[in-house]
Structure 1
Amino acid sequence: MAQAAGETSEPTAQHRGITPERFAAVHRALLSGLLGNVGFKKEQFEYNGTRGRKFHLFPGSSLFSRKPPWVMSAELTETTKLYARTVARIEPEWIENVGEHLLHKEYSEPYYHRESAHVLASEKVSLFGLVVVPRRRVHYGPIDPKASRDIFIRQGLVEGEYHSEAPWARNNRQLIRDVELAEAKLRRRDLLVDAQSRFAFYDVRVPAGIYNGPLFEKWRQKAEQADRRALFMKREDLIVPGPEAPAELFPERVVVNDSVRITLGYVFDPGNEFDGVTATVPVALLNQLPQEPFDWLVPGHLAEKLTELIRTMPKDVRVQFVPVPDTVKSVLPLIRFGDGSLYEQLAWQLGKFAGKAISPQAFCSDYLPDYLRMNFRIVDEVGKTLAIGRDLETIRRKLRVELKQTFEELPKSQWHRDGITRWDFDDLPEMVEIKRPGMVVRGYPAIVEKDGDKASPGGSVGLRLLDSAELAARANLVGLRRLFLLQLGGDRVKHLQRHLPGIDRMSLQYATLGPSEELKRDLLNLSADRALFGEAQVVIRKREDFVTRAETAWQRLSESSRDICEAVGQSLELYQSLSRRLGQPVPPLLATNTNDIREHLKALLPRGFVASTPWPWLKHFPRYLKALDLRLTKLLNAGANRDTQAMSQVRPLWKKYVDRAELHEFQGVSDPNLSQYRWLLEELRVSLFAQELKTAFPVSVKRLEQLFAEVK
């Protein structure tokens, strides 16, 4: 055998007649008597042997230069080192096959393996202290049935790693989800029984020896023949006795606009972006959602939200409601959940409680914990998340392009037309409903201006469905005016523009602000608006109403343009005069005041002021400019003292307007209260700087501050 084996790792020419299979068989036979002389190469020259020995291959060995990973030797000879002589290459598997009775096996890290539904562990195999297999995965069930059963129950059944769609599994998973949902709604973590209690449920039912999925299924099928609900948990098996989360306090959906159903989800995970209550909103509905219903959150959190809202009030107001929890107990029964504005109701009830008026603006929802503010998840038609946040306006601004695209992709209908030059379509409903998969979308028909339509050289209008009533209302005013002018015809319109009263002089005076064509267009548009809609901006939705108003508007158009041109002409005349006066040198002590007048003039008459100013305020411009002129005269004659005092009252109010107007423009918000505030500021300037001209409305700093408190 030694002659047949030789000292080599593979059969060569000198071993004629020895096939690789016979070569391996011979070496396995030799190995059975040489198990104590095996070794594994640890370093470049050294091998680890059994019983802690370390040896080197004898330099004269044919394997010395090859140094295979595993070897056996006929003898170990110790000279200057311990050398292995008569060496052959072996495979570690041979050691396991030949010396199985001598092997030592250790197991560690048993765990449940989801894919195979078995309990696995890491196995380490050694021979006389020499590690043959450092680590491999093996089925642990037959090795330790009891421990494997415990792991299978704990990780597979209790923790849900064992996947089954059998009725018992679906029932138990749903019960656990229900309890976890109740925990999320109540924001607590002590309703679901602990893992040990759930382990005990299965432990008394699953017999010994069931330690993997196949064995469990085989047993379950037999057990369910006797009791179909043998593994069905009940709610009392999973929930710790305590408070419940009634559906009326924690609804799973909210209805807005009478018919739109928005799904609500609950998460209790502070720091998570979904912590609290999340409303899932299809993007097509985003612009149609009012903020007020969501300010209420859900009834189950109302008491806590009221408490935290009161704590956000200014200290001098808040002290009237200490202790806050007692105040909330008193006012909570008086609050009608979901009825109008939460902030207005709370302010009203607190005002009655304190005996003095409380402004809804006294509350600062930005200071509330996130879970007390509704979270919004905006999704497309396939459920993909487009945006997440707790501020609807910010989300709308972020998704402005997606919102427009969503409505443009709606199925084309009678409300999608171009190239219209006369009212040849049906009356405009205020709103239409469009059925989409799983929801009903509200669209708001509007007549929209379509400049440069090739089918109509003079321009045209179109029909579109817009995604909000506010957008539709603004578009209709412009679209109806254009339709009215189209009805007049291009020649008439050009004639009107050429013969606007005083247009030549006004064009020269407007030259420092913009081109004359812009002024003519703006004057004509404003004249048409006033003639067609009147002072009250009448809403026109019926063809019959439009025809009637268009006929009378044509008759009023000359009068309307005359009034407007008179006001604008006087304003431009005063503007030019003031500009010349402000261009003259002034004493340094008056520089701050004259700069303020200059800035005021620039803000009052910017480029396009005719188009940007509502007629009810534009008609007062001559008086506002006379007040500015009078202010400058008083400043130059009487000095800066009184002017500076008045200026100190106006400038903070003006800054508040500018800041809020910039914010509204950025957010795409339109608030009539802010517009009212801006023009009443002009009346305040008249009352402070030119009292003799008198104001058109009662005005004071206090009134303006109260009005600003109502601004969005």
Structure 2
Amino acid sequence: MFARTAACIDPSWIEPIAKRLCKSSYHSASWDATRGFVRVKERVTLFGLVLVEGRTRDYSRIEPAEARAIFIREGLVAGAFPAPVPPCLTANLARIRTLLDAEEKTRQHGGLFDPETAFAFYDTRLPPELCSAADLRRWLRENATASDAMTLTEADLPPVRDLSLAYPDAVTLSGNRLALTYRHAQGEADDGITCTVPAAVLPLAAAWRSEWLVPGLLDEKLRWMVHVLPTRYRRLLQPVDETLSMCRSRLTPGHRALAEAFSDALYAARGVRVPTDCWHEDAVPDHLRMRFAVQDEAGRELGSGRNIALLVNVFAPRSEGAGAAVQTPDARWQKDGLTQWDFGALPAQLDVGKAGWPIIHYPALVDAGDTASLRLFATPAEAAAAHDKGVCRLFALALGKEWKRVMQPPSLPRDVAAYVKQLDMSAERLGQELARAALRETFTEGRPPIRDAAAFQERLAAERGRLHGVHLARSRLVVAILHAARGVEHDLLAAALPPDTQEDLAEQLAWLIFPGFAESIPAAQLQHLPRYLEACRVRIQRAQGNPHGDTRKLNELKPLWQRYTRHVALAEPPRHDPALLADYRWQIEEQRVSLFAQELRTPAPVSAKRLDALWAQVLLP
């Protein structure tokens, strides 16, 4: 017993004495993201006796090549670099993050970003001896061109298409911006899209048709819906790709329940009526169902799930008394009988909720005939459209007798007067429309909105002298347009054209020239009507000699045009951006010029692909 006690030694005593006889082995090399170097575990033995186990060593002093590879993969490519991070590396990580985010959204891990490509980029640029964060910082300081050499460019990584339309980062509901996050993690709870929702906004989120997901995932969901249909329906919808292609233009996302809208689209496209009870949303794969993460006012997560009704029942009551209820606006924002700007400044928007998450309304003036009114709107686009007309009414009242003179009927050539009468219009009505259009063009069109009395008076004083000239120029342009339209109608009636061509040209003319066109079409578009009408004449001439060519081009145009006409024909169309919808309508006219009278040229490039992209922006979530 004494010998064992007396002979007890500390293994750490042996290593310094018998260093030449000791053997070291290394394992578990890893990147230390805090200290910025590659560390490794060391084991020291003497004749099999373990003297040291798990001592941390700097791996670059042992295997510099392997340490350098780990440094590049973990510290540079993976981005686990300790602060401060060099600007070039920050930029590189942002580019890589864009690719990784795109992979999550499109659910194709490894399809865009190849770590080996990034590894090779750094490997060819870094000196062989560089193995740590400190080494990299020192090298960047001592070499003026090193930072540029270390910065990834577009040529070094695969291009990423713009995913902002197909996979938006947020959805806006009545002024509330709700973040959308994407994760490709099959089997995990957060697989797919997660919408982060404040508890106070849960009832609003429940009213959102979230089963439509986002444009980038809708096709996959529709394909799945067809796939799980009973056989008696599914076999009638083959091939599926063709069926979906026929249905896309018939779907208006978010306006109705997806099951109802898809059933109607299938019936219109294939003549197959699928009962809505054949669709089972609960059986949809998780990544094709919107997931909601509910937060309190401090941003803490209260719960999550894919059943929004259940989340509302559980968490919405917690927002009571927390400032989420919408307050009724006071009488300041509900006024009638306004004849001058004596009601104070109008804010661009109002937070009509209590403390906490915003619920926004938008005040605007409204044209009420002989006076103006003040109202609140749910969207900025609706408010802007109404406000322009309301402000113009106040300008007309401020002009007094000058306005009455501008309202006089124009003098029309005999042929134009006859054509105006044919359109079920009159010179008096045309005069009023031209006057209102000239008023808008002079004071508000293309200008920042007026929201206070000082700006109103300043605009009135600065621009009222232009009104007569603007009115005269617009009147002459409209007369020229009416003369050209009469000629197109004459040629159309006299020409022998295929029925579809005849019908399309007649429809186009009706959409260009109609009672009220002189007022409702903005100056920026009105100036192009002579070219559109000339394109009609060119098309009529060519279609007589090559009817099949005209029909082929018309078939390209029809889907683009029909989705617009169907949209505006709805009594309650889906939420959309009015400005973008108007832009789409006029881009269709430019597409007609490009297809049927290319020599007349278009102000900007136009194509079916560009129109598809624009339409995706028209529809609001």
Q: Which has the higher contact order (CA 8 A, sep 6+)?
A: 2
Structure 2 counterpart SS, 1:138: strand
Q: CA deviation at 1:285?
A: 1.0
Provide the C-alpha distance between the structure 1 equivalents of 2:274 and 2:350, rounded to a whole number of angstroms. Answer: 40
Provide the C-alpha distance between the structure 2 equivalents of 1:131 and 1:359, rounded to a whole number of angstroms. Answer: 75
In structure 2, do the counterparts of structure 1 residues 131 and 342 end up closer, same or farther at CA, with 3 Å as the change threshold? closer
Q: CA deviation at 1:266?
A: 1.1
How many residues of Structure 1 are paired with residues of Structure 2 in the alignment? 346
State the match for 2:29 in structure 1: 110
In structure 2, do the counterparts of structure 1 residues 361 and 133 end up closer, same or farther at CA, with 3 Å as the change threshold? closer
Provide the C-alpha distance between the structure 1 equivalents of 2:260 and 2:54, rounded to a whole number of angstroms. Answer: 69
Post-superposition CA distance 1:478-518 (Å, at most 9, x none): xxxxxxxxxxxxxxxxxxxxxxxxxxxxxxxxxxxxxxxxx
Q: CA deviation at 1:212?
A: 2.0
Provide the C-alpha distance between the structure 2 equivalents of 1:118 and 1:215, rounded to a whole number of angstroms. Answer: 9
Name the larger-Rg structure.
1
Structure 2 counterpart SS, 1:378: strand
In structure 2, do the counterparts of structure 1 residues 94 and 301 end up closer, same or farther at CA, with 3 Å as the change threshold? closer
Q: Which of 41, 46, 52 is residue 133 of structure 1 equivalent to?
A: 52
State the match for 2:166 in structure 1: 249
Provide the C-alpha distance between the structure 1 equivalents of 2:23 and 2:274, rounded to a whole number of angstroms. Answer: 82
Q: CA deviation at 1:364?
A: 2.1
State the match for 1:337 in structure 2: 253
State the match for 1:440 in structure 2: 358
Contact persistence 1:283–1:406 (CA under 8 A): no
Contact persistence 1:263–1:279 (CA under 8 A): yes
In structure 2, do the counterparts of structure 1 residues 150 and 352 end up closer, same or farther at CA, with 3 Å as the change threshold? closer
Work out whether 1:69 is the aligned partner of 2:11.
Answer: no
Structure 1 counterpart SS, 2:352: strand
State the match for 2:135 in structure 1: 215
Q: CA deviation at 1:235?
A: 4.1
Contact persistence 1:312–1:365 (CA under 8 A): no
Provide the C-alpha distance between the structure 1 equivalents of 2:273 and 2:26, rounded to a whole number of angstroms. Answer: 76
Q: Which of 140, 148, 162 is residue 81 of structure 2 equivalent to?
A: 162
Q: How does 1:21-420 map to 2 (within 5 A)?
A: 63-64=2-3, 66-70=5-9, 91-164=10-83, 165-223=85-143, 225-239=144-158, 244=161, 246-257=163-174, 259-355=175-271, 357-407=273-323
State the match for 1:671 in structure 2: none
Structure 1 counterpart SS, 2:182: strand
Post-superposition CA distance 1:2-49 (Å, at most 9, x none): xxxxxxxxxxxxxxxxxxxxxxxxxxxxxxxxxxxxxxxxxxxxxxxx
TM-score, with structure 2 as normaliser? 0.50
In structure 2, do the counterparts of structure 1 residues 292 and 309 end up closer, same or farther at CA, with 3 Å as the change threshold? farther
Q: CA deviation at 1:68?
A: 4.2
Provide the C-alpha distance between the structure 2 equivalents of 1:188 and 1:121, rounded to a whole number of angstroms. Answer: 34
Q: CA deviation at 1:234?
A: 2.6
Which contiguous aligned blocks of 4+ residues in structure 1 show a shift greater than 6 angstroms? 425-429
Contact persistence 1:125–1:134 (CA under 8 A): yes
Counterpart amino acid of 2:249? P
In structure 2, do the counterparts of structure 1 residues 133 and 360 end up closer, same or farther at CA, with 3 Å as the change threshold? closer
> Which structure 2 residue ranges, 5 or more long, are not aligned?
335-348, 362-621
In structure 2, do the counterparts of structure 1 residues 195 and 339 end up closer, same or farther at CA, with 3 Å as the change threshold? same
Provide the C-alpha distance between the structure 2 equivalents of 1:133 and 1:139, rounded to a whole number of angstroms. Answer: 16
Q: CA deviation at 1:111?
A: 2.1
Provide the C-alpha distance between the structure 2 equivalents of 1:309 and 1:187, rounded to a whole number of angstroms. Answer: 19
In structure 2, do the counterparts of structure 1 residues 341 and 132 end up closer, same or farther at CA, with 3 Å as the change threshold? closer
Structure 2 counterpart SS, 1:406: coil
Post-superposition CA distance 1:90-117 (Å, at most 9, x none): x434433333334332323322222222
In structure 2, do the counterparts of structure 1 residues 329 and 116 end up closer, same or farther at CA, with 3 Å as the change threshold? same
Provide the C-alpha distance between the structure 1 equivalents of 2:31 and 2:41, rounded to a whole number of angstroms. Answer: 12
Post-superposition CA distance 1:383-441 (Å, at most 9, x none): 21112111211110111431324347x79x899xxxxxxxxx97999x98435788423
Q: CA deviation at 1:270?
A: 1.0
In structure 2, do the counterparts of structure 1 residues 272 and 436 end up closer, same or farther at CA, with 3 Å as the change threshold? farther
Q: CA deviation at 1:130?
A: 4.0
In structure 2, do the counterparts of structure 1 residues 348 and 136 end up closer, same or farther at CA, with 3 Å as the change threshold? same
Structure 2 counterpart SS, 1:126: strand
Post-superposition CA distance 1:636-692 (Å, at most 9, x none): xxxxxxxxxxxxxxxxxxxxxxxxxxxxxxxxxxxxxxxxxxxxxxxxxxxxxxxxx
In structure 2, do the counterparts of structure 1 residues 344 and 136 end up closer, same or farther at CA, with 3 Å as the change threshold? same
Structure 2 counterpart SS, 1:440: coil
Post-superposition CA distance 1:39-70 (Å, at most 9, x none): xxxxxxxxxxxxxxxxxxxx8xxx42525432
Provide the C-alpha distance between the structure 1 equivalents of 2:353 and 2:140, rounded to a whole number of angstroms. Answer: 47
Provide the C-alpha distance between the structure 1 equivalents of 2:230 and 2:321, rounded to a whole number of angstroms. Answer: 43
Judge which range, 198-207 or 288-297, deviates more: 288-297
Q: CA deviation at 1:178?
A: 0.9
State the match for 2:603 in structure 1: none
Q: How does 1:642-661 map to 2 (within 5 A)?
A: none
Provide the C-alpha distance between the structure 1 equivalents of 2:213 and 2:19, rounded to a whole number of angstroms. Answer: 69
Counterpart amino acid of 1:123? E
> Which structure 1 residue ranges, 5 or more long, are not aligned?
1-58, 71-90, 416-424, 444-712
In structure 2, do the counterparts of structure 1 residues 281 and 326 end up closer, same or farther at CA, with 3 Å as the change threshold? same
Structure 1 counterpart SS, 2:5: coil
Q: State the percentage of identical aligned residues.
A: 28
Post-superposition CA distance 1:133-188 (Å, at most 9, x none): 24422222222322222222222222222224321222122112211111112111
Contact persistence 1:256–1:293 (CA under 8 A): no
Q: How does 1:490-501 map to 2 (within 5 A)?
A: none
Provide the C-alpha distance between the structure 1 equivalents of 2:190 and 2:135, rounded to a whole number of angstroms. Answer: 40
